[in-house]
């Protein structure tokens, strides 16, 4: 297991194994596996079952398409994400189909779909690294994303490489000790900021 999460309480092994590497093997992800990752995203829950997500996908075996998506990333992410065999952009639809009103849960729902994709990837020996560092307007222009749809995150997907493979900062960032806030910092009960008894 590469860089497992040091959890305080027992969790499913997929959650413990899931992490966001910056080093990927030069190994293609076959179309059937990619379909399964996207199928996992497809079956995420969503408000009113609106499924307000879209995924733009580029694979390194189609260099022109891959470079178009890579160009949407900030330079610091291009330097390592370009080694992954798959890049994606997630996009959220901001209004309900059912009535045209704003869907304030759209970003939540695309997060759920992304989490299911990440766990499916983990279960198949892959990893998905989600990135805020991309140019949303560049992505909108590149892919003709219409108004009412919001580019949310970029994603690098592939088979994680071993810790000693990448040099320098990328290695440290990808395999540094993993940390999370303790439950008492974000699990409340009687009022905001007062830790729930089960979290202490």
Q: pTM higher than 0.85 for the full model?
A: yes
Residue 108: exposed, middle, or buried by beta-carbon count in 10 A (0-12, 13-18, 19+)?
middle
Compute the distance between CA of residue 79 and CA of residue 76 in angstroms, rounded to an integer: 6
Averaged confidence pLDDT in the chain: 92
Q: How far is CA 160 from CA 73, 112, 174, in A?
A: 20, 22, 10
Neighbours of 29 (CB within 10 A): 21
**3-56 per-position pLDDT tens digit:** 788 888 999 999 999 999 999 999 999 999 999 999 999 999 999 999 999 999
- The CATH class of 15-163 is alpha beta
| pLDDT tens-place string over residues 43-91 | 999 999 999 999 999 999 999 999 999 999 999 999 999 999 999 999 9
Give Cβ neighbours of residue 12 (< 8 Å, ≥ 6 apart): none
> Other CB atoms closer than 10 Å to residue 39's CB: what's the count?
12
Spatial CB neighbours of 29, under 8 Å, sequence gap ≥ 6 = 59, 85, 86, 126, 157, 158, 159
């Amino acid at each position: 297991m590469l860089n497992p999460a040091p959890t305080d309480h027992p969790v499913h092994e997929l959650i413990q194994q899931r992490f966001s590497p910056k080093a990927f093997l030069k190994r293609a992800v076959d179309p059937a596996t990619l379909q399964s990752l996207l199928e996992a995203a497809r079956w995420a829950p969503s408000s009113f079952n609106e499924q307000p997500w879209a995924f733009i996908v580029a694979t390194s075996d189609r260099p022109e398409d891959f470079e178009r998506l890579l160009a949407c990333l900030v330079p610091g992410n291009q330097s390592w994400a370009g080694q992954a065999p798959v890049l994606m952009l997630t996009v959220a639809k901001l209004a309900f189909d059912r009535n045209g009103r704003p869907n304030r849960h759209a970003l939540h729902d695309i997060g759920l779909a992304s989490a299911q994709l990440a766990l499916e990837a983990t279960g198949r020996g892959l990893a998905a690294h989600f990135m805020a560092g991309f140019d949303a307007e560049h992505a909108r222009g590149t892919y003709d994303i219409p108004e009412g749809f919001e580019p949310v995150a970029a994603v690098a997907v592939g088979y994680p490489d071993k810790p000693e493979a990448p040099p320098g900062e990328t290695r440290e960032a990808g395999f540094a000790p993993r940390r999370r806030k303790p439950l008492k910092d974000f699990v409340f009960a009687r009022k905001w900021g007062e830790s729930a008894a089960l979290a202490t």
